[in-house]
Amino acid sequence: GSYFIVANIKDADVKQLHTMSEDIGKEYTKDFKYCVNMMCEVKVGIIPLSVFYTPENRHMGENYVRISFCKKKETIDDAIEKFKNFKNLKNLS
């Protein structure tokens, strides 16, 4: 089991700031872009919800990201501090 929150990023104007080397030239879904940006810029991993859908239905999860809490309290506290200390959170989108 796990604990998680699904966050709506519908209103975020997300730009693709980073690309994994094997995906050069590929356009990511909105949620995937947001998660890659979060990992590269804030150093916190969250999960794009579209990965839980079949390719033809990925658009149904594109406006959501999944934040998991199945971690030690210290890990969650560390992620919270990273969010607080990251001055350019709006630059992720």
Side chain identity, residue 70: C
Q: Is the pLDDT of residue 62 over 90?
A: yes
Rounded-to-integer distance, Cα 74 and Cα 78, Å = 6
Query: Which pLDDT score is estimated for 87?
Result: 61
Adjacency order of strands within the sheet including 47-48 = 4-8, 64-68, 47-48
Q: Map residue 89 onto helix, strand or coil.
A: helix
Task: State both tokens at 71.
Answer: 């971690």
12-50 pLDDT per residue, tens: 888 877 776 666 667 788 999 889 888 888 888 889 999
Q: What is the 3-state secondary structure (H, E, C) of 44-77?
A: CCCEEHHHHCCHHHHHHHCCEEEEECCCCHHHHH
Look over the chain and give the mean of its residue pLDDT values, rounded to a whole number.
Answer: 83
Residue 23: predicted pLDDT: 67
Of the ranges 57-61, 72-76, 81-85, the best mean pLDDT one: 57-61
